Chain A
Amino acid sequence: AQSVTQLGSHVSVSEGALVLLRCNYSSSVPPYLFWYVQYPNQGLQLLLKYTSAATLVKGINGFEAEFKKSETSFHLTKPSAHMSDAAEYFCAVSDRSGYSTLTFGKGTMLLVSP
């Protein structure tokens, strides 16, 4: 069975500061890993994904994540936060079968202050 742990239900940063959202996964097989973002009143939007092509994955809006197998982690970072980054972020894992049901973490709300 797969599982995802996101550390911190809320993370607060100042505008311009580094954003670090933590995600650890558990999977018995090599996984696919995803980060999704949900802005208020919108659906989940894919930020980036890891499919084993490269361990450092770049996504939209300046976000990136690094897959570390030894640490079973897939933390999301952005060098400089913008006010528009305030949203809820979800880490998810799926197996490598043809039908990729997602298992999500509980989500982390990112708060950005001026």
Chain B
Amino acid sequence: EAGVTQFPSHSVIEKGQTVTLRCDPISGHDNLYWYRRVMGKEIKFLLHFVKESKQDESGMPNNRFLAERTGGTYSTLKVQPAELEDSGVYFCASSPSGGTQSTVRGQYFGPGTRLTVT
């Protein structure tokens, strides 16, 4: 079973430019999450998709961030225009739906995309 993949692994852009990050979840996982870790800080939740619908986007920092999930498969996270404070590692995670307390399996994380805004 292929894991969660993210592209690119690294991105260096200038302030004001646009960047699009992509996440391919594990096949069949309805839940897809985006998280971000700014250097020196904890990993923070950005948003959660269930299939193609946004279930919770309370962690999105501002309207410069736009997330989509086409057809309930892969997801993209666009930052436009990028600011210096957007630098960090962006993680994607996925998990299957349903299950009971005893079958909670946690989320499966991708390797992350390291974004540097200069």
Which residues of A are interface residues toward B (Cβ below 8 A)? 4, 32, 34, 36, 41-46, 49, 51-53, 90, 96, 98-107
Pick the residue among A51, A100, A104 that contacts B43 (CB under 8 A): A104
Do A53 and B102 form a contact, CB below 8 Å, given A99-B55, A100-B95?
yes
Q: Is the CB of B104 within 8 A of A104?
A: no
What is the size, in residues, of chain B's interface with A at 8 Å between Cβ atoms?
Answer: 29
Residues of the A chain whose Cβ atoms lie less than 8 Å from the Cβ of B97: 98
Chain A residue with the shortest CB-CB distance to B47:
A101
What would 22 A/B residue contacts be, using CB atoms closer than 8 Å? A36-B106, A36-B109, A42-B111, A43-B91, A43-B111, A44-B43, A44-B91, A44-B93, A49-B104, A51-B101, A51-B104, A53-B101, A98-B97, A99-B31, A99-B56, A100-B107, A102-B33, A102-B43, A102-B93, A103-B45, A104-B35, A107-B42
Residues of the B chain whose Cβ atoms lie less than 8 Å from the Cβ of A105: 42
Bound Cα distance from A106 to B50, whole angstroms:
27
* Max count, chain B CB within 10 A of own CB: residue among A4, A42, A90, A100: A100
Residues of the B chain whose Cβ atoms lie less than 8 Å from the Cβ of A107: 42-43
Residues of the A chain whose Cβ atoms lie less than 8 Å from the Cβ of B105: 46, 49
Q: Is the CB of B44 within 8 A of A104?
A: yes
